[in-house]
Structure formats: C-alpha cells, structure tokens
C-alpha cells in the first residue's frame, strides 16, 4: 500500500527538495512566503514550510520525482491571481512557483506562434507579440502579474475571448512535467497533427491537478490596423444583447470586446477607483464597453459612428462616447479592469462567475436579482462581465452598514439561489475562473456523473499518489 500523502514534510525531506533548486531558491522565510499564502482579495489564507522556485524544466522534473517518491503534496503557483483558491496551500503543501521560468523561447511571426515558458507574465507575452507586429489577444485585468502557465492551467477567458477564443484555443503546443517527473514534450507549432489522442488539452483548465505546465506554444494573430472603443449607456440587458447581435452582423470590423456593467458597479469604481471618471454626463442603468477592430486602416470610425447612430435611433443605446484617442480608450478599459478591486471598500462581496446562453442573460439577471434581494433584503447585486461570452460575474455586495462576517456567512445560501437559476438556464456555475477549492463541493452537484467518474479515473492515472494540488477541483 502507498504511504499516506505528506502535507508538511520532515526536515530531511525538505533538505532534499532544497538541494534541487539551491538554498537561494528554497524559500522558508515567513516574510518572503507571506505574499504567496494569501490571494489578492484576502479570501484565502494558506500555510507552507517551503516554496520552491525552480529555474528549469529539469529542476521541475526533479522536484516532482522526489515529491512522488516521498508522497509530498505540491501546489503549483504562477502569479497568484487566481480567484478560486487553486494556487493556495491550505494544508501545509509545498508551493512550486513557476515564476523563474520566464523566458520567451521564440517568437515566430511567419508561423504566427510564440513559445513561452510558464512563468512569463501575460503582459510581457503581449508585448513580445506586438514587437513583431502581431497580437496575442488574451487580456485580463490581472495581466500585469498573471502568468502563461496560470492562464492555461485555469483556462482563462477575459475580454478578448469573444473574438479570439479562451486560453485553450490560444494554445498550440505544450510541455508538461508529469507527477512522476517525466517530461512530455508536445511543443509543436502545428495546427494539424492527427497522430493519435490529443493529450494537450487535458492540462488546460486542470488547475495544476494533472501535471505542471512548463512551457507552451501560443497562437498569434495579425495586429488590427484600426480599433474603435465606445462607452455606451444602455437601457437594459435586453437592449445590450440586441446591440451585440446587431454589431456582429452589421459592423465592417470584428467585435473584439463587449462588456456589460450595471450602474451600481460603475458607481463603486467612481467612488473608490484611482483616476476613474464617468465617460458620460448623466447616469444610465447599464453600460456596455464595446471594442471593434479591423484590418483596414481607414473607414472603421465612420462605420462605427453610423452604427451607433442607428442603435440610438432603435433605442438600444441611450448615450454614447467613442474614444477620441488611445488614452481615452485606455481610460474606458481602466474603468472596466478596476471593477474587481473597487468592490472591497464596500464590505463583504459574495462572488459568482457564471455563464448562460447569451440570449438568456436578461432573464438570468432579472431572476437572480429578485431572488438574492428576497433572500437578503438590502443586499446589492453588482453584476458585470463578458456579455458576448454569456459570462457574468454576478457579485453581491453586503447591505450598507451590515456586519461583514454575518453577510459572508450567507455565502453558500446566496450561491445556492443563484446557481439554481443558472442551471435552470442550462448554464455553468464556473465560466472562466475554475473550480479550485471554492467550488470543489459544488462540482459533483452539477457535473454529469459519467464525466465526473472519468475525471477521477484520469486523475488516478496521471497522479496515482495524489501529490498534485490535493483538495482542488476533485
């Protein structure tokens, strides 16, 4: 029988791990560990005896081989921006930080690919693509600190998914270290490669439970020659859905962003955000941030202006401002990307990252708000998100003046009410953030039982000793 999994290894085992990376990169100092044990919103706290910072795939392989032999539990961590607690060692597991694997191995503009190590920060990858006149379109509010390995492991979505796809669709090849230390090299640049089972995608969205991603080949796109960014006041989510459909069918360019926000969350941003101002002169119940891109340098602005004129006539848009320059466009996106942060000063916030078919968004929003406010009178739903992907961050802030802990104690009650409505609309309780620790108990309630059983079989096959991110996902 296998010996039990060790969450807090003995000193002699710790020394063997430290010897692989060298003492400098085997972190044990409490101050150095602290930022890696808590996630940004302060929702999850963990503990560990050591964080390992390998500098190569070979070192990652040696760490996993030893972890497997000694049954030592490991939690992989990239930029620590995940929102479901997947990257936190809740029970003394060792942290395996991928941040030192930060080389961009190759940018191949002709093949439209880029080979990045797992610890490359997303923004650096975007910049490297731009330097050769290409676009790497994954875009998240956390892009200044999240990493390619974390993006793939959480199968991140973000604001560009509408036009370019989620992280899974942006990955062409991958290098993975398996739980027993073997390295699987699928770092191909090929769109077409039908040589048996396609194993690459098993590791995307696996949240570090099946293997450690050490590098990936990513897909690049031509850089748009013209981009127009509009901030729109809209009367309702119904109008926003119609507007999206109209834009996708009528505009000469491609709709590359379509974000919905309720007035309440914009008010939080205006109150608590840095350098945030209302782009419109009067308030509107809902807002859309729309971005349209074109490969034609000329003509897009006229086209978008004409489109917005029609949309106002059809009462789908109440007021509109089209960014006059890049700074203004950036200020619209800054407002959008600050929405995670500005909920904090309003007290407790109960989160949902859900998706429903796009057409069902208006009904979902209306039903969820009714049910939540009935459950906790005075609570303040502040939904926002990626309308074009049917993905809403249905977050609920506490009633003004309420006790934060008492409100947060209702987390599961509120989830139950919202998730029920999501399921009635044939949606998903985790659209883009993953399962991690946060939704682990909910997964068996929503996943097809055959699929769940296959997932457990795959986990057993790839990680028979359960060393990789135990207690997450399954």
383 binds, among ligand MLT, ligand FAD, none (CB under 5 to 8 A by kind): none
**Cα–Cα distance between 174 and 152 in angstroms, integer?**
10
Helix axis angle, 57-70 relative to 11-21, nearest 10°? 170
**Cα–Cα distance between 388 and 166 in angstroms, integer?**
12
Q: Given the complex with ligand FAD, which of 117 and 367 has the nearer CB atom?
A: 117
Element (H, E) at 12: helix 11-21
Q: Which long-range contacts (CB under 8 A, 24 or more apart) does 383-386 make?
A: 383/260, 383/262, 383/265, 384/259, 384/260, 384/261, 384/262, 384/265, 384/339, 385/259, 385/260, 386/157, 386/158, 386/159, 386/161, 386/162, 386/258, 386/259, 386/432
Helix axis angle, 411-424 relative to 361-375, nearest 10°? 150
Q: Give min distance, CB of 83 to ligand MLT, in A.
A: 6
469 binds, among ligand FAD, ligand MLT, none (CB under 5 to 8 A by kind): ligand FAD
264 binds, among ligand FAD, ligand MLT, none (CB under 5 to 8 A by kind): none
Most distant CA atoms of the chain, gap in Å: 73
Q: Give min distance, CB of 394 to ligand FAD, in A.
A: 14
- Helical H segments across 338-446, by residue range: 361-375, 404-408, 411-424, 443-446
Q: Give min distance, CB of 270 to ligand FAD, in A.
A: 18
Sheet containing 74-77: order of strands: 26-27, 51-52, 94-97, 74-77
Q: Give min distance, CB of 23 to ligand MLT, in A.
A: 37
340 near ligand MLT, rule: CB under 6 A: yes
Q: Give min distance, CB of 150 to ligand MLT, in A.
A: 13
CA 73 to chain centre: 24
Q: β-strands 94-97, 74-77: how paired?
A: parallel
Q: Given the complex with ligand FAD, which of 283 and 464 has the nearer CB atom?
A: 464
Q: Are 33 and 22 in contact (CB under 8 A)?
A: no
Q: Give min distance, CB of 97 to ligand FAD, in A.
A: 8
Q: Given the complex with ligand MLT, which of 128 and 339 has the nearer CB atom?
A: 339
Q: Select the residue whose beta carbon is closest to ligand FAD and give its number.
A: 150
Note the residues at the interface with ligand FAD (CB under 6 A). 40, 75-83, 86-87, 98, 118, 140-142, 146-147, 149-151, 153-154, 156-158, 207-208, 212-213, 340, 432-433, 436, 469, 472
439 near ligand MLT, rule: CB under 6 A: no
339 binds, among ligand MLT, ligand FAD, none (CB under 5 to 8 A by kind): ligand MLT
Q: Which of 173, 188, 163 is nearest to 244 (CA)?
A: 163
- Provide the CB-side half-sphere exposure for 142 (13 A, CA): 21
Interface map 79-118 toward ligand MLT (x if CB under 6 A): ----------------------------------------
Q: Select the residue whose beta carbon is closest to ligand MLT and give its number.
A: 340
124 near ligand MLT, rule: CB under 6 A: no
Binding residues for ligand MLT, rule CB under 6 A, total 6
Q: Given the complex with ligand MLT, which of 303 and 338 has the nearer CB atom?
A: 338
97 binds, among ligand FAD, ligand MLT, none (CB under 5 to 8 A by kind): none
Token pair recorded at residue 450: 């055959």
Give the dihedral sign, CA 87/90/92/93.
negative
Q: Given the complex with ligand FAD, which of 346 and 367 has the nearer CB atom?
A: 346
Q: Given the complex with ligand MLT, which of 172 and 339 has the nearer CB atom?
A: 339
Angular region, 175: left φ>0, alpha ψ -120 to 50, beta rest:
beta
Token pair recorded at residue 320: 């509109």
Footprint of ligand MLT on 371-390 (CB under 6 A): 385
**Cα–Cα distance between 177 and 63 in angstroms, integer?**
10
Q: Given the complex with ligand FAD, which of 147 and 256 has the nearer CB atom?
A: 147
**Helix %, strand %, coil % of the chain (to 5):** 35, 20, 40
Q: Are 396 and 407 in contact (CB under 8 A)?
A: no
349 binds, among ligand MLT, ligand FAD, none (CB under 5 to 8 A by kind): none
Exactly one of 135, 220, 339, 376 binds ligand MLT (CB under 6 A); which one? Answer: 339
Interface map 195-234 toward ligand MLT (x if CB under 6 A): ----------------------------------------
Q: Given the complex with ligand MLT, which of 320 and 339 has the nearer CB atom?
A: 339
Exactly one of 40, 92, 141, 235 binds ligand MLT (CB under 6 A); which one? Answer: 141
273 near ligand MLT, rule: CB under 6 A: no
393 binds, among ligand FAD, ligand MLT, none (CB under 5 to 8 A by kind): ligand MLT
Sheet containing 353-355: order of strands: 319-322, 226-234, 286-294, 254-262, 384-386, 391-393, 353-355
393 near ligand MLT, rule: CB under 6 A: yes
Site residues, ligand MLT (CB under 6 A): 141, 339-340, 353, 385, 393
């Amino acid at each position: 029988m296998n010996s039990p999994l060790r969450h807090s290894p003995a000193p002699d085992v710790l020394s063997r791990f430290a010897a692989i990376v060298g003492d400098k990169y085997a972190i044990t100092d409490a101050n150095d560990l602290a930022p890696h044990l808590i996630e940004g919103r302060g929702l999850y706290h963990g503990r560990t005896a050591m964080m390992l910072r390998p500098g190569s795939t070979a070192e990652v392989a040696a760490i996993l081989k030893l972890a497997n032999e000694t049954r030592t539990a490991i939690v992989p961590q990239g930029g620590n921006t995940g929102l479901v607690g997947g990257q936190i060692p809740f029970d003394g597991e060792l942290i395996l930080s991928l941040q030192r694997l930060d080389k961009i191995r190759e940018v191949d503009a002709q093949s439209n690919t880029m080979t990045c190590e797992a610890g490359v920060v997303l923004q650096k990858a975007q910049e490297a693509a731009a330097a050769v006149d290409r676009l790497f379109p994954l875009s998240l509010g956390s892009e200044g600190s999240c990493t390619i390995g974390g993006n793939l492991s959480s199968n991140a979505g973000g604001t560009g998914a509408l036009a370019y796809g989620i992280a899974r669709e942006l990955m062409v090849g991958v290098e993975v270290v398996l739980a027993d230390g073997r390295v699987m090299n699928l770092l191909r640049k090929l769109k077409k490669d039908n040589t048996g089972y396609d194993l690459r995608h098993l590791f995307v969205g696996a949240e570090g439970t099946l293997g450690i991603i050490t590098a990936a080949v990513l897909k690049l796109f031509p850089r748009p020659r013209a981009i127009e960014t509009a901030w729109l006041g809209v009367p309702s989510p119904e109008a926003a859905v119609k507007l999206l459909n109209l834009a996708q069918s009528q505009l000469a360019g491609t709709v590359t962003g379509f974000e919905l926000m309720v007035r309440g969350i914009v008010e939080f941003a205006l109150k608590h955000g840095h350098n945030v101002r209302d782009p419109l002169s009067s308030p509107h119940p809902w807002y859309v941030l729309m971005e349209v891109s074109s490969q034609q340098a000329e003509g897009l602005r006229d086209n978008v202006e004409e489109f917005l004129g029609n949309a106002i006539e059809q009462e789908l848009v109440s007021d509109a401002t089209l960014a006059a320059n890049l700074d203004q466009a950036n200020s619209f996106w800054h407002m959008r990307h600050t929405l995670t942060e500005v909920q904090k000063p309003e007290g407790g916030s109960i989160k949902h990252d859900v998706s429903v078919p796009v057409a069902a968004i208006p009904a979902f929003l209306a039903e969820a708000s009714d049910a939540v406010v009935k459950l906790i009178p005075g609570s303040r739903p502040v939904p926002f998100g990626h309308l074009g992907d049917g993905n809403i961050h249905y977050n609920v802030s506490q009633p003004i003046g309420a006790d934060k802990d008492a409100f947060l104690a209702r987390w599961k009650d509120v989830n139950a009410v919202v998730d029920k409505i999501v399921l009635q609309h044939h949606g998903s309780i985790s659209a883009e953030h993953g399962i991690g620790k946060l939704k682990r108990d909910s997964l068996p309630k929503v996943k097809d039982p055959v699929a769940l059983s296959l997932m457990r079989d795959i986990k057993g096959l790839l990680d028979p000793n359960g060393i990789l991110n135990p207690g997450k996902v399954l």
